[in-house]
Structure 1
Amino acid sequence: MFYKKNYRAILINTLLIGSVASAANAATLIEQQSTRPNPMTKEVKTFKQTMLVEGLKGRMNGALPNGQYVLMDVGAGKTFMVNPKEKMVIDMSTPPQMPKMPKQLKQAPADKPAAKSELIKVGTGPEIAGYPTTHYQVKADGKLCADQYVSEPALKVKHLKHFMESMGKMNAERKKAVGAMPFMKMNPCFIVAEEVAGDLLAKGIVLRTQSPDGNRDFEVLKIQTDVSVPANDFIIPTGFEIATPQQMMQRAMQRMNQQMQKNMPPAK
């Protein structure tokens, strides 16, 4: 459950984010923050993340708990979740396997729209992180889902254009491989957000996403170029074990079975 939840979140968030040099890289740094209100308490929490992009490689810090981070090589179609504390790497490059539909139920094709999507240009938006923006609204079946503030000049920042174009292609291929989600009724706004992601990317970089209630779900705070970072920031640390999500689930099931057997009363 943790993997599936974070897989999709990371898949949508990385839309906003070369070869590794021998000593240090001149990367582009994006500082951003997300705010998520608790539906029960209405308390709003703010999470700050940084993204480093160099060529077709990227690193996302702060998106996962306990010091974990995400490494990407969008040119090779690779994504990894790295856990330094446990020296474990989860290879997220292969999309999760969806359960098969029962024969009596028919699965919708992956390209069949589940909601009518609209991307409407409203006009000039505010300056964000030093870049001009254009204001768009995203709607699902006529209902406002989000206000998006997109910057075309920001897309011309070093490293970002090719990285994001490759990321968009990789995400489209993964979505096609996963197909429709059986047994799951998804929020129309969530579906539409994925559908219009490519159209937004063609217009620039999303610097702010605002929900209908006015909450700033996502905002870029700063974009800085030519940041010197160690070359190994973009590679998997040596000595770390690499496993697929399926392997991690199998291990969890084995531990659960062992614990259940341990707690069982002795046979009489």
Structure 2
Amino acid sequence: MKKIIAALFIGIAINNIALADTRIIIETGDSKTDIWLNEKYARTSFIENNSDKNSPDENNPDENDPDENGSELPPGDVIKNFSSGKNYMIIDKKKILLDMSSPPMFFEEMTSDTPKKKSSQKINFTYKNRGSGETIAGLKTTKYEVSAQGRKCFDIWLTKDRIYGQAMKKLGYFSDSEDDDDGSESICEQANADDNEKYGFPVKIIATDAEQDMLVVEFKTNVKAPRKYLSFPAGYKIMTMTEMIQDAMARQLPE
């Protein structure tokens, strides 16, 4: 589902139950998201499926730099501070923490006069229980067929594992946002966490076109993250997106 990557940057607050270091690897199409999180931080790496990188490399932070390999993936890991609710992109090559929590100043000016999209009518989704599903990444699942307005949307494997659910809610991974709705979504793409949370949390999704939209390939908790991985890197300069753009423009001006 097209919001899978974008939703990583939303995040929501949950209860105060402490979450031990946890790792989740999710495959979506031709890429993977490798997520480490605990009670204070979450850090996400974006990896192409043809990449042989399968774990954080403290000694080679530039390994996945798109400037070097032409990748369309984000130019760095994203770290979220759950306390402040802010997301930062870690750009190791320039030793910069890019604050992604607010849009560039010019973007706000461009959109200030844009009329707000009216809330669309809520669509009711039907979840048909198809029985016990496979065990995926150590998680027991139940398979459901999800339909809307008489049309089958996708098959989904849900788990009621408490720790997995806690991690997904903390990430806000399947939360929805009206601000992200640009009116281009199909009916089936409008399903969100409110519709399926009472049944469990998604571990695998296969759309009606038989393409695999999402699969959890690894889930481990009570595992120790790499040293200093779930913390802000020392000595990095924090910049807003506006400052980053202004800096890039200044570099292009003739002296």
Both proteins in one fold, TM over 0.5: yes
Extract structure 1 runs of 4+ deviating beyond 6 A. none
- 1:118 aligns to what? 125
Aligned length: 218
Separation in structure 2 between the aligned mates of residue 170 and residue 122 of structure 1, nearest angstrom: 20
* TM-score after normalising by structure 2: 0.68
Helix, strand or coil: the match of 1:228?
A: coil
Separation in structure 1 between the aligned mates of residue 81 and residue 174 of structure 2, nearest angstrom: 10
Of 172, 181, 189, 1:168 maps to 172
Judge conservation of contact 1:107–1:180 (CA < 8 Å) in 2: no
Structure 1 unaligned residues grouped into runs of 5+: 1-5, 17-24, 36-45, 263-268
2:7 is equivalent to residue 12 of structure 1: yes
Shift of 1:100: 2.6
Larger Rg: 1
Q: Which has the higher helix share?
A: 1
Structure 2 unaligned residues grouped into runs of 5+: 12-18, 49-63, 66-74
Shift of 1:120: 1.9
2:47 is equivalent to residue 47 of structure 1: no
- 2:113 aligns to what? 101
Q: Deviations over 1:61-85 (max 9, x none)?
A: 2358527211122343121111112
Q: Deviations over 1:108-131 (max 9, x none)?
A: 24xx12673525233223221222
Shift of 1:161: 4.2
- 1:205 aligns to what? 201
Range that drifts further, 79-88 or 225-234: 225-234
Instruction: Sort the Cα spacing of 1:122 and 1:255 in 2 relative to 1 into closer, same or farther, 3 A.
Output: farther
Shift of 1:151: 0.6
Judge conservation of contact 2:8–2:173 (CA < 8 Å) in 1: no
Judge conservation of contact 1:26–1:229 (CA < 8 Å) in 2: no
Q: CA RMSD in A?
A: 3.6
Same amino acid, percent of matched pairs: 24
Instruction: Sort the Cα spacing of 1:145 and 1:151 in 2 relative to 1 into closer, same or farther, 3 A.
Output: same
Shift of 1:142: 4.6
- 1:234 aligns to what? 230
Shift of 1:86: 2.0
Shift of 1:216: 1.3
- 1:221 aligns to what? 217
